[in-house]
Amino acid sequence: MADKKKKAAIEAQNLDPKIQEYLEEDAKNKAEFAAQREEDFKQPYDPECILEVRHMRKTFPLQKSLLGKVERELVAVDDVSFKLKAGETLGIVGESGCGKTTLGRAILKLHQPTDGRIIFDGEDITDFNTKKMRKNRTKMQIIFQDPYSSLPPRSTVGDILSEPVQVHNIVPKDEVKDYVLKLMDKCGLRDYYFERYPHEFSGGQRQRICIARALSVNPKLVICDEPVSALDVSIQAQIINLLKDLQKSMNLTYIFISHDLSVVKFISDKIGVMYLGSMVEFGNKEDIFSNPIHPYTKALFSAIPNPNPDVKMNRIVLGGDIPSPANPPSGCRFHTRCPHATEKCKYVTPTYREYEEGHFAACHLLEDEAK
């Protein structure tokens, strides 16, 4: 009877039975996934990790009804999960608009996540209010891409760096200047810059000031959002080396967002590859660079020039434009551009799974190979 009803419903919708089968598989996967998500929320925090992001989602409303109900939304970050140990660097890569900045800002709660949990330094901070977050602000800092607009033009470097130290009582009042001068030295800034204004500096020096400001409050986690993209290539290496040195001496944990895969390869311990809001692959740098398993990662990395002229580049050129996150494709979001896409990819969302220890990806090809 049930089968008859199902058949009649398929005929009424004029759907190919194979497509109907895929839609049912997708619905089943989604139900299993929802149950798994609830289970994951109940798991104890990993004491080895300074940061755990569990099923993070961030949407932005695009259209609201007169009564304020959201009628259309943009999914900027969709179900992103990962863990990070203290002192590690996670590089986040992906094309423009894939949600890298939104993910970083949501971790810092500069955007309130729509769903998911953020466990930072042993505490679930997802629902912390502004007052509770104030205490955490010192532990989590961000460095932006543009060092020109990030600094107040009418304050001296000394004032810019002293203010957070005073506001958060990092050292007694009479020790602030000494503390700031030491910090400036660590960041490669001469002591006479203390009395100077941001406009007197080059982009690289300004970024050093931004780094010093972020580190002035002794953070544990620093999100670096394209920190060298606006700088000359010659200066980029100096800033990256500075960030690496400071990480070692201050045991900092970084989330390093960048378009530049060579920079990410140099600085990261772990890599997360994002596509249209989702994390499609995640793992240790060595695994991701030597053995990328997701078709999108393979395409992205195939564009990295090889310094050895004898090695032939097998560049995978992706066709089509990046779809809009306001209207993402069904099934696997990458199916409109994937060279390996099958009919199933159009309808069934692949599950994000661990394929080797610490190496995660979401792709039907891998699911089929693993069977």
Ligand X SMILES: Nc1ncnc2c1ncn2[C@@H]1O[C@H](COP(=O)(O)OP(=O)(O)OP(=O)(O)O)[C@@H](O)[C@H]1O
Contacts with ligand X, residue ranges (CB under 6 A): 60, 74, 76, 94, 96-102, 325
- Contact between 273 and ligand SF4 per CB under 6 A: no
Q: Which stretch binds Mg ion (CB under 5 A): 79-87, 100-108, 321-329, 358-366?
A: 100-108
Stretch near ligand SF4 under the rule CB under 6 A, chosen from 120-128, 208-216, 321-329, 361-369: 361-369
Q: Residue 341, interface with ligand SF4 (CB under 6 A)?
A: yes
CB-CB contact of 189 with 205 (8 Å): yes
Does 101 contact Mg ion by CB under 5 A? yes
**How far apart are alpha carbons 131 and 330 in whole angstroms?**
40
Among 140, 211, 279, 365, binds ligand SF4 (CB under 6 A): 365
- Please give the residue whose beta carbon sits closest to Mg ion in the complex: 101
Task: Please tell me what DSSP assigns to residue 199.
Answer: G
Supply the minimum distance, in Å, between the C-beta of residue 333 and ligand X.
Answer: 13
Of the candidates 281, 284, 298, the one whose C-alpha atom is nearest the C-alpha of residue 350 is 281
Whole-number minimum distance, CB 230 to Mg ion, in Å?
A: 12
Indicate which of ligand X, ligand SF4, Mg ion, none lies near residue 299 (CB less than 5 to 8 Å, by partner kind). Answer: none
H or E segment at 90? strand 89-93
The dihedral sign for the CA sequence 285, 286, 288, 289: positive
> In this structure, are residues 93 and 274 in contact, taking their beta carbons and an 8 Å threshold?
yes
102: contact with Mg ion by CB under 5 A: no
- 107 or 332: CB nearest Mg ion: 107
Query: Is residue 277 a contact point for ligand SF4 (CB under 6 A)?
Result: no
Binding residue for ligand SF4, selected from 332, 347, 352, 355, defined by CB under 6 A: 332
Assigned token pair, 223:
């999100």
- Give the residue, chosen from 120, 335, 347, 355, that forms a contact with ligand SF4 under the rule CB under 6 A: 335
18's tokens: 């194979």
CB of 107 to Mg ion, least distance (A): 13
**Nearest to ligand SF4 of 117, 364 (CB atom):** 364
**What Å distances lie between residue 273 and 106, 180, 230, 251, 308, CA to CA?**
17, 37, 22, 25, 25
57 Cβ contact partners less than 8 Å away, ≥ 6 residues apart: 75, 77, 78, 79, 80, 113, 114, 115, 116
Smallest gap from Cβ 55 to ligand X, in A, equals 18
Which of ligand X, Mg ion, ligand SF4, none binds 250 (CB below 5-8 Å, type-dependent)? none
Look at residue 204 and give the partner it binds from Mg ion, ligand SF4, ligand X, none, a contact being a CB closer than 5 to 8 Å depending on partner kind.
Answer: none
Q: At what angle do helices 203-215 and 157-167 cross, to 10 degrees?
A: 20
Alpha-carbon span 62 to 70, nearest angstrom? 8
Q: How many CB atoms lie within 10 A of CB 52?
A: 19
